[in-house]
Amino acid sequence: GAGVSQSPSNKVTEKGKDVELRCDPISGHTALYWYRQSLGQGLEFLIYFQGNSAPDKSGLPSDRFSAERTGGSVSTLTIQRTQQEDSAVYLCASSSSGRAESDTQYFGPGTRLTVL
């Protein structure tokens, strides 16, 4: 079946602009995660959605970052007033429930963001 998809695959923007990154999780998966992969920081958790519960935003690095998940499916990560340090690959993952620590998370191909 279809895996996790993300768009765009690449995004180049100018410092100070806003960007939106999209994630389509695997159908039926109730848990959705955003991570960031950068050279300096490795792979970092950003935010977690589980069903209709309030999201866990504990990994968002600043208030310029926000995310929403509409209808329990598609998610959008928004970065306002982008900075050069935001340049990274943004990864989305989904899992069937997110309630068990043993659940497998399935990752999308990522969006490579470059801030000039």
Partner 1 sequence: GNSVTQMEGPVTLSEEAFLTINCTYTATGYPSLFWYVQYPGEGLQLLLKATKADDKGSNKGFEATYRKETTSFHLEKGSVQVSDSAVYFCALTATGANSKLTFGKGITLSVRP
Q: What is the contact surface with partner 1 in residues (CB under 8 A)?
A: 31, 33, 35, 42-45, 48, 50, 56, 59, 91, 93, 95, 98-110
Query: CB 101 → partner 1: shortest distance, Å?
Result: 4
Contact 16, 81 (CB under 8 A): yes
Q: 74 vs 107, which CB is nearer to partner 1?
A: 107
Query: CB 106 → partner 1: shortest distance, Å?
Result: 8
Q: 49 vs 82, which CB is nearer to partner 1?
A: 49
Query: CB 103 → partner 1: shortest distance, Å?
Result: 6
Query: CB 42 → partner 1: shortest distance, Å?
Result: 5
Strand positions, DSSP E, the chain = 5-7, 10-13, 19-24, 31-38, 42-50, 65-69, 75-79, 88-95, 106-107, 111-115
Residues found in the chain: 116
Q: Is 38 exposed, middle or buried (0-12, 13-18, 19+ CB in 10 A)?
A: middle
Angle at 110 between CA 107 and CA 105, to 5 degrees: 10
